[in-house]
């Protein structure tokens, strides 16, 4: 009996020792073990960051690459991070921030192809790439794709057959064994788990005017009317009767929306939308994303996007003076203090109308897949107004659809209806269809 007790005690001790050893075992830094070699057959190019998209997608400024007009849209090879744009998932924001911080602090960044040519991803508009960076002149380059797996901030994606597959597999197994981030049972501090916060569109927009949004990353429910919808993006607008002002916001739902959600997002629907408030870093603007809809959901359940009424008119606010749009400020009351806000900033996402704009210049990117046109106009008061169109079509004399080219606008004076948007530091009016443009004179 004593021998059995001693044996059991010994087994218990060994088990505890193994557990302690496993828990204390030092993590291997596979990103430090893997070395960057310039002299191999793959394409390598030193780049700078143009736009951060999410954890596994970044747009880079390139100088020698022939795959794009100065910009390579890179989709990281071998990894798939949780979503943080159109769909919001646990650890998605953490992965996005990890990638952003690593590249932000880098003194040098290289992108590398997996073979002798750049290979497009499934969308055809992005290219699969390895991302190397180093943080100071004396350090080695580190493979960011590998680090994301190593930190447990990405799942493996088509790892087999790549030049660095062996390292990716080891890093992923280690993250699983140590239950890091996506493999853990911990809650993501940047993910909203609770019910949606019910807010007015005014409250949400005023919150985003602050340097630090208190609702950023939160699941919120807001009501308004859908005014615009194209290419995975729509706008929501709501009227504040006390202020006699409309508030608006961009809604991003991407290209994989369910049929239930698409029914909700039809123009003219008064809706309650439930989504996550996110900063669209490429444009520096706020938007709702990660929307969910279910035709069987209780209409009073504020965790789902629903239709409240249909066939509502879309109201366009007339801007009589171009200078108001370009440079004027509006005073609003926020927390019992009067705060000045640029007129156009407060009008972001709302529908506006401007009359008698004389076309000064037009531009369309010759290398783009679609003909989206930037139109520079002069308002009657002499101020400069920027317009941006989607790809426009009209029915010609033969009853056929005809694409509108930039030359169509030369010398014309036009009246337009559209949504207030922003490109860089320039506020502009975004026009969805040709029907929203009226030619006042031919010049």
Domains of the chain by range and CATH?
30-183 (2.40.50.90), 197-309 (2.40.50.140), 350-441 (2.40.50)
pLDDT value of residue 159: 77
pLDDT value of residue 63: 87
Predicted structure pTM score: 0.69
Mean of pLDDT values over 68-88: 86
- Reported as a single tens digit per residue, the pLDDT across 166-182 is 999 999 999 999 999 99
Mean of pLDDT values over 179-188: 95
Q: How far apart are CA 155 and CA 78, in angstroms?
A: 9
Pair 163, 42: CB distance under 8 Å:
yes
- Reported as a single tens digit per residue, the pLDDT across 251-285 is 999 888 899 999 999 999 999 999 999 988 777 88
Distances (CA, A) of 359 to 196, 370, 406, 412, 422: 45, 21, 11, 6, 19
Q: In degrees, to the nearest 5, what angle opens at C-alpha 85 toward C-alphas 431 and 219?
A: 100
Confidence band, pLDDT 50/70/90 cuts, at residue 15:
very low
What mean pLDDT is reported for the chain? 88
- Reported as a single tens digit per residue, the pLDDT across 90-112 is 999 899 999 999 999 999 999 99
Confidence band, pLDDT 50/70/90 cuts, at residue 20:
very low
Mean of pLDDT values over 78-82: 95
């Amino acid at each position: 009996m004593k021998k059995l007790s001693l044996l059991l005690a010994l087994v218990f001790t060994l088990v505890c020792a193994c557990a302690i050893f496993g828990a204390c075992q030092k993590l291997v830094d596979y990103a430090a073990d893997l070395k960057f070699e310039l002299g191999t057959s793959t394409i390598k190019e030193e780049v700078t960051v143009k736009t951060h998209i999410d954890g596994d997608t970044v747009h880079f400024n390139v100088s020698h690459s022939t795959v794009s007009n100065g910009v390579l849209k890179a989709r990281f090879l071998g990894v798939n991070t949780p979503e943080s744009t159109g769909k919001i998932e646990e650890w998605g924001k953490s992965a996005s921030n990890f990638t952003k911080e690593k590249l932000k602090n880098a003194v040098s960044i290289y992108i590398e192809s997996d073979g002798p040519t750049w290979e497009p991803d499934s969308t055809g508009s992005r290219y699969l790439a390895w991302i190397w960076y180093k943080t100071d002149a004396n350090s080695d380059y580190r493979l960011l794709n590998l680090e994301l797996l190593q930190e447990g901030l990405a799942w493996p994606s088509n790892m087999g057959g790549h030049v660095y597959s062996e390292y990716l597999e080891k890093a992923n197994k280690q993250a699983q064994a140590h239950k890091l981030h996506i493999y853990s049972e911990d809650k993501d501090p940047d993910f909203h788990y609770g019910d949606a916060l019910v807010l007015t569109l005014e409250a949400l927009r005023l919150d985003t005017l602050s340097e630090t949004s208190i609702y950023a990353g939160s699941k919120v429910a807001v009501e308004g009317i859908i005014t615009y919808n194209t290419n995975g993006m729509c706008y929501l607008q709501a009227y504040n009767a006390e202020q006699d002002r409309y508030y608006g916001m961009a809604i991003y739902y991407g290209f994989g929306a369910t049929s239930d959600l698409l029914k909700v997002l039809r123009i003219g629907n008064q809706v309650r939308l439930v989504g996550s408030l996110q900063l669209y870093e490429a444009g520096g603007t706020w938007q709702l994303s990660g929307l969910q809809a279910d035709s069987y959901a209780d209409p009073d359940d504020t965790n789902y996007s629903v239709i409240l009424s249909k066939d509502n008119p879309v109201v366009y606010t007339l801007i009589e003076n171009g200078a108001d749009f370009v440079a004027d400020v509006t005073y609003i009351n926020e927390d019992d203090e009067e705060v000045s806000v640029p007129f156009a900033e407060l009008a972001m996402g709302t529908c506006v109308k401007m009359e008698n704009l004389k076309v000064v210049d037009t531009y369309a990117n010759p290398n783009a897949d679609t003909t989206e046109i930037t139109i520079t106009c002069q308002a009657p008061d002499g101020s400069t107004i920027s317009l941006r169109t989607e790809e426009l079509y009209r029915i010609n004399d033969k009853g056929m659809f005809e694409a509108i080219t930039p030359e169509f606008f030369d010398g014309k004076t036009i009246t337009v209806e559209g949504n207030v948007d922003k490109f860089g530091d320039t506020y502009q009016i975004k026009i969805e269809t040709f029907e929203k443009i009226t030619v006042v004179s031919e010049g």
